[in-house]
Amino acid sequence: MSKIYRFTCIVCPLGCYVEAELEGENLKIQGCKCPRGEEWVRSEIFEPKRVLMSVIKVKNGVYPVVSVKTDRPVPKDRISQIMRFLSNLEISAPVKIGQVIVENVLDTGANIVATKDVEKK
């Protein structure tokens, strides 16, 4: 039995409508106007990843939290686990934009990086 996937490609401004049919290990892709789109569809089906954005609590800061993100995409199926991990963290001010807060978060190869400055009170 085959499974059909339908996407609007997000790799380039063309926004191609793409249909992919997966039968066993065989993947047939139609609608991509560039090879980057085909690569993106394959990764969306076999290994979907996302850049994660969240906040971490800040102690003694002018703001109670700092916005953070991963410095590279992480496996989509690990996002809830990473979010739970981040919800238990608290760091001390000051925090600088670009500062690595957590290296190799949960062995994903991605670092958690601050996306805002938070000065000390």
Return d(Cα 60, Cα 31) in angstroms, integer.
53
Kindly state the average pLDDT of the residues 50-79.
Answer: 98
Does domain 53-114 sit in CATH 3.40.50.920?
A: no
12-40 residue pLDDT tens: 999 999 999 999 989 999 999 988 999 99
Q: What pLDDT is stored for residue 1 in this prediction?
A: 84
Burial of 115 (0-12, 13-18, 19+ CB in 10 A): middle
Kindly state the average pLDDT of the residues 87-107.
Answer: 98
Q: pTM of the full predicted structure?
A: 0.85
Kindly state the average pLDDT of the residues 68-82.
Answer: 98
Q: What pLDDT is stored for residue 59 in this prediction?
A: 98
47 phi, psi to nearest 5 deg: -145, 70
The domains of the chain are located at 3-46, 53-114
Return d(Cα 98, Cα 84) in angstroms, integer.
22
Burial of 98 (0-12, 13-18, 19+ CB in 10 A): exposed
Q: Which positions ≥6 away from 88 have C-beta within 8 Å?
A: none
Buried b (16+ CB within 10 A) or exposed e, 22-59: beeeebebebbeeeebbebbeebeeeebeebebbbebe
